[in-house]
Structure 1
Amino acid sequence: MFKLFLLLLAVPVLEIYLIIKVGSAIGGLPTAALLLAVSLAGAFLVRSQGFRILDQVRGELAQGRLPAAQLLDGALILLGGLLLVLPGFCTDLIAIFFLIPATRRLIKLWLGLWLQSRLARGGFLVRRHY
Structure 2
Amino acid sequence: MRKLSGFILFLPLVELVLLIAMGAAMGFLVTLLWIVATGIWGAWLMRTAGPSAMARAQRDVAATGRGQIDGLGVAANFLGGLMLLLPGPLTDLLGLVLVTPFLRRLAFGAWLAGRLQQVVVERGGFGGGPNGPFGGGDGNVYDADPDDIQRNEPRDPHRLDRDRDR
Q: Give TM class, smaller chain.
A: 0.5 to 0.7
Q: Runs of at least 4 residues of structure 1 off by over 6 A?
A: none
How many aligned residue pairs are there?
117
Question: What TM-score does the superposition give when structure 2 sets the normalisation length?
Answer: 0.54
**In structure 1, what is the Cα distance between the partners aligned to 2:7 and 2:34?**
25
Contact 2:41–2:84 (Cα < 8 Å) also in 1: no
2:27 corresponds in structure 1 to 27
Q: Letter of the aligned partner of 1:25 in structure 2?
A: A
Contact 2:15–2:89 (Cα < 8 Å) also in 1: yes
**1:101-120 maps to which residues of 2 (within 5 A)?**
101-109=101-109, 113=112, 117=116
Contact 1:42–1:96 (Cα < 8 Å) also in 2: no
**1:107 to 1:73, Cα distance in 2 relative to 1, 3 A:** farther
**In structure 2, what is the Cα distance between the partners aligned to 1:55 and 1:89?**
32
* Structure with more relative contact order (C-alpha pairs < 8 Å, separation 6 or more): 1
1:89 corresponds in structure 2 to 89
Q: Letter of the aligned partner of 2:101 in structure 1?
A: P
Contact 1:22–1:31 (Cα < 8 Å) also in 2: yes
2:53 corresponds in structure 1 to 53
Q: Letter of the aligned partner of 2:40 in structure 1?
A: L
Contact 1:15–1:88 (Cα < 8 Å) also in 2: yes
**Cα displacement string for residues 19-74 of structure 1 (whole angstroms, at most 9, x for unaligned residues):** 0111122332321112112333444555666554333433566645664xx01111
**Cα displacement string for residues 64-90 of structure 1 (whole angstroms, at most 9, x for unaligned residues):** 5664xx011111111111112211111
Structure 1 gaps of 5+ residues are 123-130
2:80 corresponds in structure 1 to 80
1:5 corresponds in structure 2 to 5
Q: Letter of the aligned partner of 1:96 in structure 2?
A: L
**In structure 1, what is the Cα distance between the partners aligned to 2:79 and 2:34?**
21
**1:75 to 1:107, Cα distance in 2 relative to 1, 3 A:** farther
Q: What's the secondary structure of 2:87's corresponding residue?
A: coil
**In structure 2, what is the Cα distance between the partners aligned to 1:28 and 1:17?**
14
**In structure 1, what is the Cα distance between the partners aligned to 2:90 and 2:127?**
32
Question: What TM-score does the superposition give when structure 1 sets the normalisation length?
Answer: 0.67
Tell me by how many angstroms 1:3 deviates. Answer: 0.7
Structure number with the higher helix fraction is 1
1:71 aligns with 2:64: no
Identity of aligned residues (%): 33
